[in-house]
Amino acid sequence: MSRIARAQTYPSRPVRIVVGVPPGGAPDIIARLIAQGLSERLGQQFFVENRPGAGTNIAIEAVVRAPPDGHTLLQFGPSSAINVTLYKRLNFNFTHDIAPIASIVRIPMVMLVNPSLPAKTVPEFIAYAKANPGKVSMASTGVGSPPHMTGEMFKMMADIELVHVPYRGGTAVVADLIGGQVQVLFLGAETIEHIRSGKLRAIAVTTTTRLDLLPDIPTVGEFLPGFEASVWFGIGAPRNTPPDVIEKLNKEINAALADPKLRARLAELDGTVLAGSPTDFGKLIADETEKWGNVIRALNIKAE
């Protein structure tokens, strides 16, 4: 009886969704869309609390230490899976201390080069990099970020040398790629207008299938079999959050994701809805943690 009563009364007060990035970017927008959908469905306010810093580790620790009652949630993505191996000393065990609730969306990345680079395909880029070892610079949005790790996996699988140039955030890095200060970057399809205008050249997409937005651009995996990288987001809660609360949140998040208006807003961010069970999301997290852990260990990548 107590289990049924708890599920019926949850949430009993406003619920915060902690996000490890500043306001304004895609992760923040996605969290606010989910918060709005849950507020409408559950009759309590779900609000976003931005806790940026330390590669999202500050936000994770805040949620790990919160009461496990479903009133403090975490939105997270691949950075959290990457950090499991990248950071040697953390005050929490992410895969143990955060319970998966529901995945939300998957967003592809695009391999972009400056048009002055004499490489129009992945094989041509690999050949150029091998002919110019240590002279091709690969930009990213920071050490351990998904664009960085995607580039490192590409380097490893293609057996080439690229000089990593980390930036803080995406605006400056795109400007420098357009200006020719760096030569290659893996980033989301938010650069589509620069691609269409010819300021940047897209030579591949990182997902296993081609993008509707760029149907003529092949996947990296067409040349490097097994290559896959993408940005994904989902919701978790502190360990020991009651199973019935997790089940209720999963059900309501999946229902919100079925709303055509929400799906359209996610599509504007180049996202594909990634609905599923807590178990499905847990497997995604485990697979991503293993994949990026292998890359970090193989290349001895260090957090800065």
Give the pLDDT score at 1: 43
Which pair of structure tokens corresponds to residue 31?
A: 């969290």
Give the pLDDT score at 8: 63
Give the pLDDT score at 270: 84
Give the pLDDT score at 7: 55
**pTM (2 d.p.):** 0.91
Cα–Cα distance list, 227 to 10, 69, 156, 207, 252 (Å):
42, 39, 11, 8, 33
Q: Which of 271, 215, 238 is nearest to 103 (CA)?
A: 271
Domains and CATH numbers, the chain: 2-107+230-299 (3.40.190.150), 109-222 (3.40.190.10)
Give the pLDDT score at 2: 46
Which residues in the chain land under pLDDT 70?
A: 1-8, 169-170
Residue pair 139/163 in contact by the 8 Å Cβ criterion: no
Give the pLDDT score at 268: 85
| Per-residue pLDDT tens digits for 187-200 | 987 788 899 999 99
Which residue bears the tokens 């790790």?
A: 149
How far apart CA 234 and CA 236 sit, in angstroms, is 7
User: For every residue of the chain, which 3-state class applies, written as one string?
Assistant: CHHHHHHHHCCCCCEEEEECCCCCCHHHHHHHHHHHHHHHHHCCCEEEEECCCHHHHHHHHHHHCCCCCCCEEEEECHHHHHHHHHCCCCCCCHHHHEEEEEEEEEEEEEEEECCCCCCCCHHHHHHHHHHCCCCCEEEECCCCCHHHHHHHHHHHHHCCCCEEEECCCCHHHHHHHHHCCCCEEEEEHHHHHHHHHCCCEEEEECCCCCCCCCCCCCEHHHCCCCCCCEEEEEEEEECCCCHHHHHHHHHHHHHHHCCHHHHHHHHHCCCEECCCCHHHHHHHHHHHHHHHHHHHHHHCCCCC
